[in-house]
Structure 1
Amino acid sequence: MAFWVLIEPCIYKMIQASRAKSAANMDEEVLTPARTQTRQLLQPVDEFFLFLVFLSVGLKERDLAHRFNIHQSTVSRIIATWTSFLATALGSQCIWLTRAEVQAYLPEEFKGFSDIQVILDCAELRCQTPSSPLLQSETYSSYKSRCTMKALVGIAPHGPVTFISDLYAGSVSDKELFKQSGIAEKLTEDMAVMVDKGFLITDCCKCKVYRPPFVSKQKKKKNQVKETQATVRLGLHVERVIRRIKQNKLFDGIITMSPVYNINQLFAVACMLSNYQNTALVKKQVK
């Protein structure tokens, strides 16, 4: 309910997705929220609960329609409207932290990597196999051996999600996704990023890159071994965040492409909502 208290004052500004789409097609502006003109079948808090059930439990629209005693088309409208509203409301808040903000909350575990600004990894979501052979080849992920959509997710060392890219076809490489996401423009020379060994991005950004090396037979120095072990261990934090996001059952199964709601917005909302969960990723923080 704490999150509901935060967004409740903005509810009156909500515009139905269908009305917004119609206005966009007619090049008009929607000035009056739909709630003042149409009969409400559910209270706003109940609509929000329906949206969360759809996202976290992954129930089908027909099932939700039966449970909430409303028509399936109404369920689709509620999901599309709340997806758009939350993407706008949460997206209006800058989640990218400044260098000083990251330093202020830098966990003790990162004391050997004090210049870390963001930890990056890719999240892959299973998607419906397209009927087009061309689209099949574009979405096929050789790593997952299935059709997927792929996004770049970044977290600050103390845990919150600070960067979310759009979803791309699963065939795109980690390096190409990094370049297309636009995060390189946010990084400066005094920052550093921590990534998995598959991110060969040293030549793509002007900041320092902490990346575990590929397996080699060459003997390494003791300090290099320690840095590699620390990079692997600390890099797991972003995998835990992605796992938390995927606990939303909507992303745990095969995602069906729907013309009703925007899957990019849904994924971004799920990522930003994870910042409002209380579970800490690291136990100690600098006080």
Structure 2
Amino acid sequence: MSFAERDERTIMSCCAVGCTNRFNKFNKTRKFYRIPSTRTPLKANRRRLWLQAIRRSDWNEQMIKNATICSDHFISAAQVRVRGSLTLEDHLLAILMKLRLGLSNKDIAFRFNVTQCDISKILRSWLPVLSQTFETSNQVAKQACHIKEYAKLCQTCIIDCTEICINRPTNLTARAQTYSNYKSHNTVKYLVGMSPAGAITFMSSGWGGRVSDKQITAESGFYDLLEVNDEILADRGFTIRDELALCGATLRIPHFTRGKKQLSAQEVETSRRLSNVRIHIERIIGRWKTFRILTTVVPLSQVDLLDDIVIVCAALTNICKCIVPRK
């Protein structure tokens, strides 16, 4: 037997424990597959699962290099989509890649060796479930808000609005409702509430970018969460003092110079302290938008998932290190 023939017999022998299958040119149904490389995290994880399944976890790189596994050890007798389908771990990884990196469905499908339709189904199946799970944490938003830090400045919540760009709608009414003069782009607008402790505790549904801060606050259900003696810290654009008063709450904003030649020393100091606290809402929104899907232009086909996306991203932001310095 020549060296070439010996090498072929070695390569075409199944390395699974207890399997004696070898290459046979007369058997057209049995195929042999090499163990995945470690060039990408996905392939490295796939290699680990393969080695565990064939009980070869202790093999070194040289032993793995020329090893093959026969198709008898695969569901459907083929090396397709990691033994027939993506694992739950792969589903989670695909979702996190979509949120953190803002990749297109086509890009993610290529990386996982599946179709775009598969990735779309994963996102549409899991994002609403994750969103609903995380949204239950907002049921205890009041307890989170009433932490005594900065109690003299903001006992309850710091609020602000932010916008996410979307593709231009074809419908003229939708195009007009979503056009933002501030962004000079079609956007979806969200009201974000933050506790003084540094956690996102309120997230409104998405509104067209044309909506005012006052309207989105009134119609988002935010007032329904307020209690008597609550204090809300916002910027000057939130002209909601009367609406909060009806709920027994107080609006805290920096003092205006309108109608005054000069602010008093006390007003200057109060405005400075309020601004030092309010800056945290801008910081938490900045961290929230490190999920790149929130800074990309969202396709119209995915706009209906945006409410779920922002809640999941907010929940993941909350488990990061707190942005508010501890005293």
TM-score range (shorter-chain normalised) is 0.7 to 0.9
Cα distance in 2 for partners of 1:260, 1:132 equals 14
Any idea what SS the aligned residue of 2:263 has?
coil
Does residue 189 (structure 1) correspond to residue 231 (structure 2)? The answer is no
8 Å CA contact 1:41, 1:70 repeated in 2: no
CA shift digits 1:95-116 (9 cap, x unpaired): 54335x544x433xx2532x52
Does residue 284 (structure 1) correspond to residue 326 (structure 2)? The answer is yes
| Counterpart code for 1:203 | D
Cα distance in 1 for partners of 2:127, 2:301 equals 13
Any idea what SS the aligned residue of 1:112 has?
coil
Does residue 263 (structure 1) correspond to residue 292 (structure 2)? The answer is no
8 Å CA contact 2:160, 2:281 repeated in 1: yes
Higher relative contact order, structure no. (Cα contacts within 8 Å, ≥ 6 residues apart): 1
8 Å CA contact 1:76, 1:260 repeated in 2: no
Query: In the alignment, which residue of structure 2 is the partner of 1:198?
Result: 237
- Out of 280, 284, 296, which is 1:241 matched to? 284
Q: CA deviation at 1:253?
A: 1.5
Within 5 Å, give how 1:131-142 maps onto structure 2: 131-142=170-181
| Counterpart code for 1:270 | C
Classify 1:214/1:135 alpha carbon distance in 2 versus 1 (closer, same or farther; 3 Å).
farther
Q: CA deviation at 1:148?
A: 0.9
CA shift digits 1:108-152 (9 cap, x unpaired): xx2532x52000000111111112232222111122222111010
Cα distance in 2 for partners of 1:128, 1:56 equals 20
Cα distance in 1 for partners of 2:208, 2:291 equals 21
Instruction: Specify the structure having the higher radius of gyration (Cα).
Output: 2
Within 5 Å, give how 1:67-86 maps onto structure 2: 67-86=111-130
Cα distance in 1 for partners of 2:216, 2:138 equals 21
Cα distance in 1 for partners of 2:135, 2:230 equals 24
Mean alpha-carbon deviation: is it higher for 78-87 or for 169-178? Answer: 78-87
- Out of 169, 186, 189, which is 1:150 matched to? 189
TM-score by length of 1: 0.79
Query: In the alignment, which residue of structure 1 is the partner of 2:272?
Result: 229
Cα distance in 2 for partners of 1:125, 1:165 equals 13
Could you list the runs of 5+ residues in structure 2 that have no partner in the other structure? 1-82
**Percent of residue pairs bearing the same amino acid type:** 28
Classify 1:40/1:87 alpha carbon distance in 2 versus 1 (closer, same or farther; 3 Å).
farther
Classify 1:86/1:259 alpha carbon distance in 2 versus 1 (closer, same or farther; 3 Å).
same
Cα distance in 1 for partners of 2:296, 2:316 equals 19
Total equivalences in the alignment: 241
TM-score by length of 2: 0.69
Query: In the alignment, which residue of structure 1 is the partner of 2:213?
Result: 174
| RMSD of aligned alpha carbons | 1.9
| Counterpart code for 1:112 | K
Q: CA deviation at 1:266?
A: 1.1
Q: CA deviation at 1:200?
A: 0.4
CA shift digits 1:225-274 (9 cap, x unpaired): 11111111211111111111111111112111216962111112111221
